[in-house]
Chain A
Amino acid sequence: MVKVASSFGRSGTHDFILLRASAIILLTYVLFLVSFFVATPQLTFDVWAGLFSNLWMKVYTLLALTALLAHGWIGVWQVLTDYVKNSLGRGVLQFIVSVALIAYWLTGLFVLWGV
């Protein structure tokens, strides 16, 4: 049986809450972006950069990336602990996914910084 090692929230209860809280943030962010794309017939660089130059959009985007970090981390942990029984293999895969998610978060931070 797999213990809590390498989970995101350090306990099953934390992971349970974080997974759902992050899911709600991501759901609203996706709905917002889809609405934006549908409501914008001709998407230009000015419109696109204009959206992300708003402080609230920077905050919202970084919030969504934070939610993605938690959600992806916990989600892939649940999947890997079920299907990859080899500890080293599971650790390596979890490491790759976790580092990628942190890199996405940092990329988002610096991209938003410059808009």
Chain B
Amino acid sequence: MEEGNCNCKLRWIYFANSSFCAFKKATIVKKQRPVNLELNTISFPPSAIASILHRVSGVIMLVTMGLLVWLFAISLSSPEGFAQAASVMANPLVKFVLWGILTALGYHLLSGLRHIMMDLGYWEELHSGNLSAKVVIALAVVLSVLAGVWLW
């Protein structure tokens, strides 16, 4: 399976999270070649953007999970705690953070489903991979707007 993932040369950024592939690539690319590590000069394909957004959204949720666990704990402690959690969530700044979490969650779930589809062997070609990445990002924007409407 890893072998298959590594075949396409344009996928190396996408599969950089697999240390196996990164290692394999490193052993293949031994020849002296010009290296460009100035990321702002590189045009990233949609699949690469989808990949980095998956990581960013995951880390956002990991960092903000403390807030959710705390809200969960106080909301179930007593009716007063529930009211306190409700008032905390009514704070505009907290509400904005919650919207950010929901946006990250929506994107991460959609992008995760795309990952599972690729595990099953679909959307692994250049065209289908980039198309599915664009669709996932577009759907995540829709979910983000819906989450905003729901919160406010």
Contact = CB atoms under 8 A, between A and B. Distances in A.
B19 interface: yes
Main secondary structure of the interface of B (DSSP, over half): helix
B59 A78 contact: no
A111 B69 CA distance: 10
Interface string B1-37: 0000000000000001101101100100000000000
B75 interface: yes
Contacts of A1: 19, 22-23, 26
B55 A79 contact: yes
B72 interface: yes
A30 B109 contact: yes
Nearest to B58: A75
Chain B interface extent, by class: 20 to 34
B109 A27 contact: yes
B20 A12 contact: yes
Contacts of A79: 17, 55, 58-59
Given A1-B19, A78-B17, A107 B76 contact: no
A91 interface: no
A111 B85 CA distance: 15
Interface residues of A, number: 28
Main secondary structure of the interface of A (DSSP, over half): helix
B66 interface: yes
Contacts of B112: 23, 27
B116 interface: yes
Nearest to A4: B19
Contact of A104 (B65, B109, B116): B65
A2 B62 contact: no
Contacts of B58: 72, 75-76, 79
A49 B78 CA distance: 9
B48 to A, nearest CB: 13
B73 interface: yes
A32 interface: no
Interface in A99-115: 100, 104, 107-108, 111, 114-115
Interface of A: 1-2, 12, 20, 23, 27, 30, 44-45, 48-49, 52, 68, 72, 75-76, 78-79, 81-82, 97, 100, 104, 107-108, 111, 114-115
